[in-house]
Amino acid sequence: MGNIVNRVFESSGPEGKVRGTPQQIIDKYNQLTRDAQLGNDRVAAENFQQHAEHYLRMLGSAQKEQDARRDQQERENRERQAERDRERAKRQERESNGEVGPSDSDQPDLIENRQDDSGLVETPETQKSDKPKRARKPRPKKPPHSDGEAKSGDAGGSQGSGAPEAAE
């Protein structure tokens, strides 16, 4: 059924459609009941009360289900916490008795490395190839930039070009 408490319903009552959450619909029908009572219309007031009661029952049953789920989750959480507390107490008792746990056992500081077994997985990139590697050709050097803008012998480099000089 989902979460009825926050779900939006559309109720087709005697005064037209009423939209909203169950609590909003209940409030609207209670207000219509009061208005009908003030107008001395007992039949309309009873009708509005019945509509409000319907949504009140829906809301009540949904809240009971939510409470039951919440209680079940709280029970499960308490049980899990109690189990963790028991395990912690057992561990502390073992430690106080001088018993060695699995994490406290003597373990070697270093693992002996053999030449042929480093413990690493061999990939195609790390495998030695029988083929000699071919030397790469060096790139040809680019000729110097000659736009006509660079002036030879200028200390500033770009004076007269109209471009601002970069600060260092």
* pLDDT tens track for 104-130: 555 666 555 555 566 677 787 777 666
Instruction: Report pLDDT for 108.
Output: 60
Domain that holds residue 18: 9-96
What is the rounded distance in angstroms from the CA atom of residue 23 to the CA atom of residue 5? 8
Does residue 128 lie in a domain region?
Answer: no
Instruction: Report pLDDT for 87.
Output: 95
Does residue 21 lie in a domain region?
Answer: yes
| Beta carbons within 10 angstroms of residue 154's beta carbon | 11
Instruction: Report pLDDT for 8.
Output: 84
Does residue 32 lie in a domain region?
Answer: yes
Does residue 17 lie in a domain region?
Answer: yes
Does residue 56 lie in a domain region?
Answer: yes
What is the rounded distance in angstroms from the CA atom of residue 156 to the CA atom of residue 4? 78
Where in 5-72 does DSSP place strands (E)? 9-13, 16-20
Closest CA to 25 of 60, 61, 54: 54
Does residue 107 lie in a domain region?
Answer: no
**Do residues 137 and 129 lie in contact, with contact meaning Cβ atoms separated by under 8 Å?**
no
* Tally of domains in the chain: 1
Write down the pTM of the prediction: 0.45
Q: How far is CA 110 from CA 14, 54, 107, 122, in A?
A: 84, 74, 9, 22
Checking if the pLDDT of 36 tops 80, the result is: yes
Burial class (CB in 10 A: 0-12, 13-18, 19+), 15: middle
Does residue 160 lie in a domain region?
Answer: no
